[in-house]
């Protein structure tokens, strides 16, 4: 199972992790964990191209997305959901506070707390971890936890 978890860019930078495992209970491994860089100066079409290229290249079986809290990310989330629909790929959405509560135990955990958690996560050993990658990993782990309930 390949799962792509995306922290959508608010303006220029987001993050993603591409996880692969046999099942939700499997610790699996990360294929990729990187920032997602947009180029707003090149226009909106370029932003959709960058997102579409990531989705095409990842070949996910599931896509994890944050629930939009800003108008800025709602359009990109809609584009990702449209891509999923066209490729018959299920998606799952979660609010950041719900993910923090499920994984860290506190829905109002600070960004530094989430990043510190991600840096200690076994899947991130030896990898660079921006705040955006940490958020994408948080959404992935919340999906794994909450989907087993």
Question: Would you state the pLDDT for residue 79?
Answer: 95
Mean residue pLDDT of the chain comes to: 94
DSSP-assigned beta bridge partners for residue 91: 63
Helix (H) or strand (E) holding 113: helix 111-120
- Report how far residue 56's alpha carbon sits from residue 42's, in angstroms, rounded to the nearest whole number: 21
pLDDT of residue 105: 97
Strand-pair category, 13-20 with 91-94: unpaired
Mean pLDDT of the region 72-100: 95
In 3D space, the residue among 53, 31, 16 whose CA is nearest the CA of residue 133 turns out to be 16
Residues 6 or more apart in contact with residue 105 via CB below 8 angstroms: none
User: Which of 2, 9, 7 has the alpha carbon at shortest distance from 66?
Assistant: 7
Q: Name the pLDDT band for 102 (thresholds 50, 70, 90).
A: very high
Confidence of residue 118 (pLDDT cuts 50, 70, 90): very high
pTM: 0.95
Distance CA 18, CA 9 (A): 16
């Amino acid at each position: 199972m390949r799962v792509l978890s995306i922290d959508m860019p608010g303006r220029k930078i987001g993050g993603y992790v591409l996880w692969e495992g046999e099942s939700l209970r499997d610790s699996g491994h990360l294929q990729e964990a990187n920032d997602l860089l947009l180029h707003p100066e090149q226009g909106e079409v370029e932003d959709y191209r960058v997102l579409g290229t990531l989705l095409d290249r990842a070949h996910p079986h599931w896509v994890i997305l944050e629930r939009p809290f800003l108008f800025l990310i709602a359009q990109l989330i809609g584009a990702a959901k449209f891509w999923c629909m066209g490729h018959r790929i299920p998606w799952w959405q979660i609010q950041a506070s719900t993910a923090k509560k499920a994984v860290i135990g506190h829905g109002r955990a600070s960004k530094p707390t989430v990043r510190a958690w991600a840096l200690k996560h076994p899947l991130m050993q030896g990898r660079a971890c921006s705040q955006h990658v940490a958020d994408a990993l948080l959404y992935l782990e919340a999906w794994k936890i909450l989907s087993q309930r």
